[in-house]
Amino acid sequence: MTHWMFNEEHNMFRNSVRKFVEREIVPFVGEWETAGEVPRSIFERLGQLGYLGTKFPVEYGGAGSDLIMDAIFNEELTKCGSSGIGASIVAHIGIALTPLWRFGNDEQKIKYLKPGIEGKKIAALGITEPNTGSDVSSITTRAVDKGDHYLLNGSKTFITNGVNADFVIVAAKTADGPGHRSMSLLIVETDWEGFSVGKKLEKLGWHGSDTGELFFENIKVPKENLIGTVNEGFKYVMINFQWERLTMALSSITLAEKALEEAIRYSKERLQFGGPLTQFQVLRHKMVDMAVEIEKARHITYRAIYQYDKGNDVTTEATMAKAYSAEMVSRVCDQALQIHGGNGYMMDYPIQRYWRDARIQSIGGGTTQIMNEILTKKLQITSN
């Protein structure tokens, strides 16, 4: 469906990305899902076409466009049918490179952001730890000030692109005291002594992306690799969460659309009791309900994106979008699989992948329960 948020330039960009995805990603989805990662050549190809730098400044190789372009890129990537492939690429530009762009200095942007935009270096963001998930302020990875460098020790887990990244933006404690006042972001190159990948993690869904556990053992991180101001990392992470949650809402909506399209196609082709499944009103109405849910999520999310692009604080709107869309996609994919009956449980049909990929949406980027808790505070529902 068309939407007032998109202009002609946006629509032309969407058509360009869509053709690229259909030509250079869709034919290889099965291969990359089996391999468990996106090949480097795709990052480089996306960089050559300028798709990785839509929102980034021209002086670092970007296009200097609005964030709506970035949102379109996210949507069209997800339409390839593998949320893992989209997650790997979006984690690179939206989660890892974004804080570098927003809070890094010129030297850091030239050294890391520019090759990231070109697709020559892959980036990851390291926040989650084995014992620290939604409670970001409780991280234990520590960077001790040694004068001209920090000595980094600790570990991270569930890190998208963690296995193949060239550098990781690492959240670490740089002082004693409350985590929200003692956290910093450091750029760590993965070929430095003391860095290691524990293993490539096997996941229920998102098979098209590599996810790793990372270890830091006495890594010497130069002071010039500190992003922004020391002990301000928690604030940077929270600011970046707004866009991360909006991108997850977008991918949830697009994945739900794919599931609905597959359910409609299948219900027209599958013959039961002398006719196609669409002869049954209960199934037709079920698919209508799915379409309505998708549109509700889309408009909540698009409104938040529009406001965010205007520079407004959309903590409430982005949180609502993420909470609703992430739960919606699981409901829609589950219903789409149900419409497939026994075939939906078979690996030969793509609906099983959509169903598996949908489950992470209400966990990653902050669980639905955390989203709801944020909203109780923003809406002043709490008693204190």
Active site residues: 244
Number of other CB atoms surrounding residue 109 within 10 Å: 20
Other C-beta atoms closer than 10 Å to the C-beta of 152 total 23
Helix H or strand E encompassing 171: strand 167-173
SS3 237: helix
Give the C-alpha separation, 224 to 226, whole Å. Answer: 6
Cβ contact 357:83 at 8 Å:
yes
Is the CB of residue 60 less than 8 Å from the CB of residue 117? Answer: yes
Q: What is the b/e burial string over 356-376, where b = at least 16 CB atoms within 10 angstroms of the residue's CB?
A: bbbbbbbbbbbbbebbebbee
Reading the block at residue 359, the tokens are 């489950």
The rounded radius of gyration (Å) of the Cα atoms in the chain is 21
Give the SS3 label for residue 198.
strand
